[in-house]
């Protein structure tokens, strides 16, 4: 059901407003109104640093268990930020930055080695090469097509050219020319020679390469040490998760902007009627001097929507929320939608074996993954739908595609026409429930005539048309259908201003019967989905049976059987989820539910990573 809302007006001294907000956030019962919220508050840079550090150390975690160990903290631990956690962020950043710098240094060293490798065979002291008395040495690259020309040129002047192999930019060469012939270098450069200056050190090119290789190994060792530090820090992932949620919670507080006077702060917000005492308790625990007033919403004001339902209905609230949030003045659609969603889902799956798989699978996932919020609701709804699937599997005599026990109602593949009739009957009952819900909503606001003329009249027509096809009660069906039609003909145009409009309005409204018939025909998708599940299951069983000629075939048949039914369960879950939701949104909600509200989201601690905060 939808819980009524009250507006709370709170006044405290300026010095007390922060402690008030923390107490309200801790109690989770107060939702500041829009004018007291500013969601454009700049995000604390520390949050981004912490999240980046958390994302980084996750890469250094060992093999993770499939079972999630939920992070549960005490409230007193959550409300106080541990400085060591901030230091942990700095350590992660330091090691990561040092690794990045070391990798950049290694790239530079490797580039230097790449430039030296072509001349590693040059066995001269690089420093002494400038001390030659009669000649000068040049090192560089020349296009391969001009190497012969260069060699001929050197022979002509008594120079020397040594070839050190072809590289991507040309052939590496070392040229020695007597000082008196240096002018020939103009011709050498004309051949495309590009000079490359080797370092000036006391040693050979190979000595330089060895030194750089040693430096690279030292830096790799340092990287490995930093990796080890990060692996060790990854054991503190929960501390960073706690810090992230603490910082997000602080930011959430900053979005609340009370109105200020010279000495006081004024705050307005919404509170559920069943939590007013908790709100007052949160205020009195935080401040000594205050004023609080609890009032009803003014006319034209739209409060947020909060629902309070039992364990079964609340598991299906996510289905409604994906469509729209109910308005506070509407009937809560969840109590009437959830049993229908559960019932139709099982009918679409229609196999007792698959129902057992659903129950055990999603119970296991809840146990292993510890989901929360809508994910937890969805998993629970699938467990409950597993019960409905078992029921319909028994009705249809289907157990993993086999008929191990006799069916109770029918076998969809053998009696598709009867299955279609059953689907349409379910559809009619579903739509009647929607109309009855709208009639109930009209009764609540004392619109008795509207309920009679706009809702009950259509219920009479739909029931009457259905009974016409049953010979024993066809007369009653005709009477009900005619009664409903007359009601619509007489009252359908009552809202029209003109006499002609009133006369023709009933006939126009009665034409809506085509829409209702179309809606009921939409439920033929129940037949389609139940048949598809049954056919795929049967085909997988046949394929497996065809392989069972020998021992290897029996093993292969088991593989086909398991994989085939896993596929069928997965496709059945997806199809049933989508089409069952569509029936609720289009055919069912369209009869009574408008939506357009917004959810009651009280000021609360942010728990992106924390599973539970113990009070």
Kindly state the average pLDDT of the residues 207-219. Answer: 92
* Model confidence band, residue 241 (pLDDT cutoffs 50, 70, 90): very high
In this predicted structure, what is the pLDDT of residue 197?
A: 85
CA dist., res. 346 & res. 393, Å (int): 8
Burial pattern 480-489, b for ≥16 Cβ within 10 A else e, equals bbeebbebbb
The DSSP bridge pattern shows strands 290-295 and 194-195 to be unpaired
* Model confidence band, residue 500 (pLDDT cutoffs 50, 70, 90): low
Helix (H) / strand (E) containing 448: helix 448-450
CA dist., res. 580 & res. 418, Å (int): 20
CA dist., res. 460 & res. 286, Å (int): 59
pLDDT for residue 365 is more than 90: yes
DSSP β-bridge partners for residue 265: 12, 260
pLDDT for residue 300 is more than 70: yes
In this predicted structure, what is the pLDDT of residue 463?
A: 92
* Model confidence band, residue 459 (pLDDT cutoffs 50, 70, 90): very high
Helix (H) / strand (E) containing 410: none
CB 97 within 8 A of CB 146: no
- DSSP single-letter state for residue 297: P
State pLDDT tens for residues 60-73.
Answer: 887 888 888 888 89
Neighbours of 612 (CB within 10 A): 12
* Model confidence band, residue 48 (pLDDT cutoffs 50, 70, 90): very high
CA dist., res. 213 & res. 91, Å (int): 29
* Model confidence band, residue 557 (pLDDT cutoffs 50, 70, 90): confident
CA dist., res. 309 & res. 318, Å (int): 13
The full DSSP string for 155-213 is: HHHT-EEEEEEEETTEEEEEEEEEGGGGGGHHHHHHTT-EE-PPP--SS-HHHHHHHHH
pLDDT for residue 505 is more than 70: no
Query: What's the mean pLDDT when you consider all of the chain?
Result: 90
CB 466 within 8 A of CB 493: no
Locate 374 and state its tokens.
């809508």
Locate 571 and state its tokens.
């496709």
Q: How deeply is 40 buried, as exposed, middle or buried, from its count of CB atoms within 10 A (0-12, 13-18, 19+)?
A: exposed
State pLDDT tens for residues 20-44.
Answer: 999 999 999 999 998 888 777 777 8
> Integer distance in angstroms from the first to the last C-alpha of the chain?
27
Q: At what angle do helices 237-254 and 83-116 cross, to 10 degrees?
A: 110
* Model confidence band, residue 123 (pLDDT cutoffs 50, 70, 90): confident
In this predicted structure, what is the pLDDT of residue 3?
A: 94
State pLDDT tens for residues 374-395.
Answer: 999 999 999 999 999 999 999 9
State pLDDT tens for residues 313-350.
Answer: 999 999 999 999 999 989 999 999 999 999 999 999 99
Residue with tokens 């229908």: 340
In this predicted structure, what is the pLDDT of residue 506?
A: 67
pLDDT for residue 274 is more than 90: yes
CA 468 from chain center: how many Å?
A: 49
In this predicted structure, what is the pLDDT of residue 453?
A: 85
* Model confidence band, residue 510 (pLDDT cutoffs 50, 70, 90): confident
Residue with tokens 């454009």: 40
Kindly state the average pLDDT of the residues 451-461. Answer: 89
32: alpha, beta or left? (left if phi > 0; alpha if psi -120 to 50): beta
In this predicted structure, what is the pLDDT of residue 615?
A: 75
Closest CA to 325 of 19, 589, 588, 532: 589
State pLDDT tens for residues 408-428.
Answer: 999 999 999 999 999 999 999
In this predicted structure, what is the pLDDT of residue 44?
A: 84
In this predicted structure, what is the pLDDT of residue 462?
A: 92
Q: Which long-range contacts (CB under 8 A, 24 or more apart) does 123-127 make?
A: 123/204, 123/206, 124/204, 125/202, 125/203, 125/204, 126/198, 126/199, 126/200, 126/201, 126/202, 126/203, 126/204, 126/205, 126/208, 127/200, 127/201, 127/202, 127/203
Q: How deeply is 506 buried, as exposed, middle or buried, from its count of CB atoms within 10 A (0-12, 13-18, 19+)?
A: buried
pLDDT for residue 614 is more than 90: no
pLDDT for residue 566 is more than 80: yes
pLDDT for residue 496 is more than 80: no
Closest CA to 419 of 580, 343, 528: 528
Kindly state the average pLDDT of the residues 210-219. Answer: 93
pLDDT for residue 522 is more than 80: yes
In this predicted structure, what is the pLDDT of residue 400?
A: 92
pLDDT for residue 509 is more than 80: no
pLDDT for residue 526 is more than 90: yes
* Model confidence band, residue 493 (pLDDT cutoffs 50, 70, 90): low
Continuous H helices in 370-405: 374-396
* Model confidence band, residue 498 (pLDDT cutoffs 50, 70, 90): low
Closest CA to 196 of 106, 134, 122, 104: 122
For residues 161 and 500, the model is more confident at: 161
CA dist., res. 526 & res. 520, Å (int): 11
């Amino acid at each position: 059901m939808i819980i009524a809302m009250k507006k709370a007006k709170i006044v405290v001294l300026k010095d007390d407003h922060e402690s008030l907000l923390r107490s309200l956030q801790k109690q989770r019962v107060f939702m500041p109104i829009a004018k007291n919220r500013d969601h454009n508050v700049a995000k604390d840079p520390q949050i981004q640093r912490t999240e980046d550090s958390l994302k980084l150390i996750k890469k250094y975690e060992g093999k993770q268990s499939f079972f999630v160990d939920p992070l549960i903290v005490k409230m007193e631990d959550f409300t106080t930020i541990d400085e060591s956690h901030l230091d942990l962020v700095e350590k992660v950043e330091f090691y990561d930055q040092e690794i990045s710098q070391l990798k950049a240094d290694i790239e530079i060293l490797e580039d230097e080695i790449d430039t030296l490798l072509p001349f590693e065979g040059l066995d001269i002291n690089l420093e002494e090469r400038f001390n030659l008395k009669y000649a000068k040495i040049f090192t560089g690259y020349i296009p391969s097509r001009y190497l012969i020309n260069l060699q001929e040129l050197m022979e002509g002047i008594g120079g020397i050219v040594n070839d050190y192999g072809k590289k991507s930019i040309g052939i590496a060469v070392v040229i020695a020319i007597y000082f008196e012939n240096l002018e020939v270098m103009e011709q050498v450069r004309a051949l495309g020679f590009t000079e490359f200056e080797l370092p000036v050190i006391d040693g050979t090119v190979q000595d330089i390469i060895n030194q750089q290789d040693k430096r690279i190994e030292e830096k790799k060792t340092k990287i490995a040490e930093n990796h080890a530090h990060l692996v060790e820090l990854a054991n503190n992932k929960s501390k960073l998760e706690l810090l992230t949620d603490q910082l997000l919670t602080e930011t959430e507080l900053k979005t609340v902007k009370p109105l200020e006077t010279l000495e006081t702060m004024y705050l307005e917000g919404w509170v559920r009627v069943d939590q007013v005492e908790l709100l007052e308790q949160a205020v009195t625990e935080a401040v000594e001097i205050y004023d609080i007033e609890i009032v009803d919403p003014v006319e034209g004001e739209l409060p947020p929507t909060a629902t309070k339902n039992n364990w079964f209905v609340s598991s299906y609230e996510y289905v409604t929320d994906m469509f729209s949030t109910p308005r506070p003045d509407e009937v809560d659609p969840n109590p009437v939608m959830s049993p229908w969603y559960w019932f139709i889902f099982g009918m679409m799956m229609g196999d007792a074996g698959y129902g057992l798989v659903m129950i055990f699978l999603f119970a296991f996932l809840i146990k292993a993954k510890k989901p929360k919020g809508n994910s937890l609701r969805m998993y629970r709804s699938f467990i409950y739908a597993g019960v409905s699937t078992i029921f319909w599997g028994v009705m249809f005599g289907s157990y993993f595609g086999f008929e191990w026990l006799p069916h109770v109602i029918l076998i969809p593949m053998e009696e598709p026409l009867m299955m279609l009739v059953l689907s349409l009957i379910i559809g009619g009952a579903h739509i009647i429930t929607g109309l009855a819900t709208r009639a109930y909503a009209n009764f609540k606001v004392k619109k008795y005539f509207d309920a009679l003329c706009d809702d009950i009249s259509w219920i009479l027509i739909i029931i009457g048309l259905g009974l016409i096809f049953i010979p024993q009660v066809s007369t009653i069906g005709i009477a009900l259908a005619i009664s409903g039609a007359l009601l619509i003909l007489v009252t359908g145009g009552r809202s029209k201003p003109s006499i002609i409009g009133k006369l023709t309005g009933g006939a126009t409204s009665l034409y809506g019967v085509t829409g209702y018939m179309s809606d009921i025909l939409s439920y033929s998708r129940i037949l389609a989905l139940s048949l598809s599940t049954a056919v795929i299951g049967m085909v997988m069983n046949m394929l497996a049976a065809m392989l069972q000629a020998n021992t290897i075939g029996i093993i292969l048949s088991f593989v086909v059987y398991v994989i085939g039914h896993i596929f069928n369960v997965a496709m059945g879950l997806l199809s049933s989820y989508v089409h069952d939701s569509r029936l609720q949104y289009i055919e069912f909600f369209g009869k009574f539910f408008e939506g357009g509200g917004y959810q009651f989201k009280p000021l609360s601690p942010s728990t992106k990573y924390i599973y539970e905060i113990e009070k």
